[in-house]
Amino acid sequence: MAVDHGPRAHPLHRKVSFCYDNSMAEPSTTLVAPSILSADFGHLADEVKRIEEGGGDWVHLDIMDGVFVPNITFGPPMVSTLRRHSRLPFDTHLMIVQPEKYISSFADAGSDIITIHYEATVHVHRCLSRIREIGKKAGISVVPSTPASMLTEILPQLDLILVMTVNPGFGGQQLILQTLNKVSQLAEMRRSGGHTYLIEVDGGINRETCKMAIEAGADVLVAGSAVFDSDDIEKEINALKCR
């Protein structure tokens, strides 16, 4: 199934394979979503172009409000500006309280996948329903201390589960190994329940940790420092895909 960009999609968007095929013994190609949190903020338009030219699959956008996490990044106007410079799907990760207030704004700005935090709102079901109603892919994210079992009731609503493998808020952190157990649990829950959500991991992903994440069941790798600190983005992305 291809990504449904909805009626407000930018004309440059391309369609990509999205959902997990539960009939397969092994997942298909690993996707890499470079996070611009580690990019040069003075040249972000050029940086998102580098992601596409280097073989990145998605552009990961970390939205931080200084409340849910101890950092502040940017909002819908920046997403809208960057949308004009890339045909890749925009993977928008809302690390903000009360995300229900901003879902439509980020959708209108050009986000393709909108991920909210389980811990950031009481009305998780309502938020996920709203994301899908407006033609976007719905994701949920959990911090390291939130167990996989908390997501049981909403699994049928999900297109993506983003497992934070560090405590969110800053780039360049070391992966918390215990979080990979959660990835494995979610992969088993997907298999046994016949679900098709993708599993994404974010935090401390590099050449040394990517294989462990993939073996645990991750389909999408978010990488910031590993990609943007590299002299050869294409080579780094291929390395993350274990090519």
Query: Residues 65, 91, 202, 219: which is the catalytic one?
Result: 202
The answer to whether residue 231 is catalytic is: no
From 62, 78, 83, select the one nearest 11 (Cα to Cα): 83
Q: How far apart are CA 129 and CA 29, in angstroms?
A: 28
- List alpha helices for 124-204, DSSP H: 124-133, 179-193
Strand order in the sheet with 220-223: 31-34, 220-223, 198-202, 160-164, 137-142, 113-117, 90-95, 59-64
Q: How far apart are CA 64 and CA 171, in angstroms?
A: 12
Q: How far apart are CA 202 and CA 213, in angstroms?
A: 10
Burial class of residue 98, CB neighbours in 10 A (0-12, 13-18, 19+): middle
Residue 93 is which amino acid? H
Query: Residues 57, 62, 91, 159: which is the catalytic one?
Result: 62
What are the tokens at 102? Answer: 């901003």
69 phi-psi bin (left φ>0, alpha ψ -120 to 50, beta other): beta
The answer to whether residue 57 is catalytic is: no
Q: How far apart are CA 71 and CA 68, in angstroms?
A: 9
**Active site positions, annotated:** 62, 202
